Amino acid sequence: MAKKKILIVDDEKDIVELIAYNLEQEGFAVLRAYDGQAAWEAIRTEKPNLAVLDLMLPGISGLEVCKLIRRHRETESLPVIMLTAKSDHVDKILGLELGADDYMTKPFSVRELLARIRAVLRRSEGKKDPDIPETFTYGGLEIDFLSCTVTVDGKKVGLSSREFKLLQFFTRRPGRVYSREQLLEQVWGDETFVEPRTVDVHISRLRAAIEKDKEHPNYILTVRGLGYKFTEVSPLSIR
């Protein structure tokens, strides 16, 4: 089996080597980049399975690299973990809104980073369960769970791996209300230090991608005081 390729992007070479050494010990293949331009080139040419991306980079910033990743069809589903010295909540929320799947601040535990890398990779693989429906169709929204593709009115929509997992979870249980805590448990699972506010950020980004008007959504609805749900649909939509 081919090794999973992880791209480490940081202008501090000591940090890159520390992460790379530990990843290689765990059986991963490691790609290295020390600025935003080199990171983007590596993403396009080497096609890593996941990128650990520092926020503050020379040239193109980590946030700009994340924007590029989500803007291009061939890279839009690449899992991204933001790694930065900035701990301000505004920076964290901005990173998540731009499509990062997770966020860690320096100084960090290498062991925790490895655990998060594994968790994000698991969630990005989209393995097929024989008992789970293959497609979902409702009101112009179409989801192919096998290819992990989403279209709205025939136009393909780019989602991060986390956003796709969230949409997948909702559409397999239409009409059922879930609190933020339940969504964290079901969609984020064993990841630690994830705040309930993270759910709101991802819901907002998901609505922006699939709703005609995210302020008046038709698909993912807010149930005041309780949480969120996907609108009730016919069982024939899921097959």
Backbone angles phi, psi at 139, to 5 degrees: 50, 45
Round to whole Å and give the CA distance between 16 and 10.
6
Residue 22 Cα distances to 27, 110, 123, 232, angstroms: 9, 8, 21, 46
Among 34, 6, 2, smallest CA distance to 20 is for 6
82 DSSP 8-state letter: E
Instruction: Indicate the domain borders of the chain.
Output: 5-125, 135-237
Please say whether the beta carbons of 103 and 95 come within 8 A: yes
Round to whole Å and give the CA distance between 144 and 210.
14
CB-based contacts of 230, cutoff 8 Å, min separation 6: 170, 171, 173, 174, 175, 176, 219, 220, 221
Tokens 């998540």 found at: 96
- From the number of C-beta atoms within 10 Å of its C-beta (0-12, 13-18, 19+), residue 200 rates as middle
Backbone angles phi, psi at 159, to 5 degrees: -125, 150
The CATH class that applies to domain 5-125 reads alpha beta
Tell me if 5-125 shares its fold with 135-237. no
Round to whole Å and give the CA distance between 219 and 176.
12
What CATH architecture applies to the domain 135-237? Answer: Orthogonal Bundle (1.10)
Round to whole Å and give the CA distance between 180 and 233.
22
Round to whole Å and give the CA distance between 131 and 106.
42
Note the maximum CA span of the chain. Answer: 55
Per-residue pLDDT, 104: 86
- pLDDT per residue of the chain (239 residues) written in tens, 0 to 9: 578 999 999 999 999 999 999 999 999 999 999 999 999 999 999 999 999 999 889 889 888 998 889 888 788 889 999 887 766 655 666 666 667 888 888 888 999 999 989 988 887 775 444 455 678 899 899 999 888 899 999 999 999 888 998 999 999 888 889 888 888 888 887 555 667 788 899 999 999 999 999 899 999 999 998 899 999 876 555 55
Per-residue pLDDT, 130: 44
